Amino acid sequence: MKTSPSLRIAAFAIALAVSGTALAQDAMTEAQVRARLTDQGYTKINDVKFSDGVWKADARSAEGNRVDVRLDPKTGRVYPDEQVANLSEADVRARLAVAGYTNVHDVDYEDGIWNAEADDPAGRDVELKIDPRTGKVIGKEKD
């Protein structure tokens, strides 16, 4: 059985629209950030704010220690300030270069995540927050 080109185009357009909706992901809200931290055992969650491209909060860990945490605004992954980095500075620089960033400088590890300044692929000067395990950019703001 033959299908008309317009029917195939319509079917393709519908499939594309549905897949785009499934892939789109909104940034977390403050309420979702608080819920994520609570679910992971954090208590006394204060000073929740969105800054430098990531969510930040002060909290108490399950052990009762005061910690500063950062959260990826898309995935909700939590980065406590005492987390150990799996990547070296050279690893971070290499991953940023592969991702198209140039003029990478001021690379440092602080509060559980890597920070760097660079020019993005479009040439804009940006401040970056980088996952310490994967090297993926989790936050980006114009510098």
Task: Answer whether residue 37 is part of any domain.
Answer: yes
- Residue 30 confidence (pLDDT): 96
What is residue 106's predicted lDDT score, i.e. its pLDDT? 97
Contact by Cβ (8 Å): 123, 117? no
Ordered alpha helix ranges (H), the chain: 5-23, 30-39, 89-98
Pair 95, 74 in one domain: no
Higher pLDDT: 81 or 103? It is 103
Give tens-digit pLDDT for 32-77: 999 999 999 999 999 999 998 999 999 998 778 899 999 999 999 9
The verdict on residue 117 lying in a domain is: yes
Pairwise pLDDT comparison (46 vs 18), residue with the higher score: 46
Q: Parallel, antiparallel, or unpaired: how do β-strands 125-130 and 43-51 relate?
A: unpaired
Residue 125 in domain: yes
Q: Which domain holds residue 73?
A: 30-79
Is the predicted pLDDT of residue 110 greater than 80, yes or no? Answer: yes
Beta bridge partners of 74: none
pLDDT given for residue 116 in this prediction: 98
Q: What is the pLDDT of residue 5?
A: 52
pLDDT > 70? residue 17: no
- pLDDT of the residue at 2: 56
Number of structural domains (the chain) is 2
Average pLDDT over residues 14-21: 42
The residues, any chain, with a CB within 8 Å of residue 111's CB and separated by 6 or more, are 68, 70, 79, 81
Task: Burial-class residue 20 by CB neighbours within 10 Å (0-12, 13-18, 19+).
Answer: exposed
